[in-house]
Amino acid sequence: MEKLLSIIFIYILVDNFVLQRFFGICPFVGVSRKMETAVGMSMAVVFVMALATLATWLVYTYVLDPLGLHYLQIVAFILIIAALVQLVETVLRKISPTLYQGLGIFLPLITTNCAVLAVALLAVQEEFTLVEAVVFGIAAAIGFSLALLIMAGIRERLEFAKIPRPLQGTAITLITAGILSLAFMGFKGMLSL
């Protein structure tokens, strides 16, 4: 329990996936323009990341590891994630069209979100148990969502700010992310596994 709580705390605040570890910068910059899309993307990421960690952990522990197929790890993981995203998309469309409307367009984008593959790889590398791995996946996804939502809130206001022309767009977003990251560094050293 203690370890689970520290995993949650560490990966949401201390080792935030976007602001401290630099995973998933592309969607962070790409979909943070509007609050609405940021919320949709966040929910999709939490959903997929929890499932992806579960699936890759099971495959690694019960298939790749016993058979000594460690060299297939990268190929296997990325295929599992791609297939999973496709599956979730199909199932959602059938079961809950409203949720699909909300998440639909973000799902295909998640395949190339490096945070998902990173979670799967790190869960194996850190030798987490199944429960720890899933909790780690969810915590990392919440950390990602937190950064994305804060950024979306700031960018909606930046729309009305007078920004020097060369800095408009991605440049000012990155500088803002730097300042956010500086703020998150306040948590550094509070906890470690």
Partner 1 sequence: MNNIYLRDIFRGIVTDNPTFRLVLGMCPVLAITTFMINGLGMGVATAAVLICSNVVISSLRRFIPEQVRIPCFIVIIASFVTIIEMLLKAFQPNLYEALGVFIPLIVVNCIILGRAEAFASKQPVLRSLFDGIGIGLGFTIALLIISTLREVIGSGTILAETAAVTQLFGPNFEPMRLFALPPGAFILLGLLLGGMNFIFKRLNVK
Contacts to partner 1 by CB under 8 A: 19-26, 29, 71-75, 78-79, 82, 111-114, 117-118, 121-122, 125, 164-167, 170-179, 181-182, 185
Q: How many residues does the chain have?
A: 193
Any residues with CB less than 8 A from the CB of 40 and at least 6 apart, and which? 102, 103, 105, 106
Minimum CB–partner distance for residue 90 and partner 1 (Å): 14
Minimum CB–partner distance for residue 1 and partner 1 (Å): 27
Any residues with CB less than 8 A from the CB of 76 and at least 6 apart, and which? 56, 59, 60, 64, 69
Q: Which CB, 5 or 171, lies closer to partner 1? A: 171
Residue closest to 179 by CA, chosen among 40, 19, 2? 19
Residue closest to 81 by CA, chosen among 129, 30, 119? 119
- For 84-103, the DSSP string reads HHHHHHHHHHHH-HHHHHHH
Minimum CB–partner distance for residue 105 and partner 1 (Å): 16
Residue closest to 78 by CA, chosen among 114, 103, 43, 54? 114
Minimum CB–partner distance for residue 180 and partner 1 (Å): 8
Question: Is 115 within 8 Å of 140 (Cβ atoms)?
Answer: yes
Q: Which CB, 5 or 161, lies closer to partner 1? A: 161
Q: Which CB, 61 or 176, lies closer to partner 1? A: 176
Q: Which CB, 2 or 122, lies closer to partner 1? A: 122
Q: Angle at Cα 187 formed by Cα 183 and Cα 193, nearest 5°?
A: 145
Minimum CB–partner distance for residue 111 and partner 1 (Å): 8
Q: Which CB, 125 or 192, lies closer to partner 1? A: 125
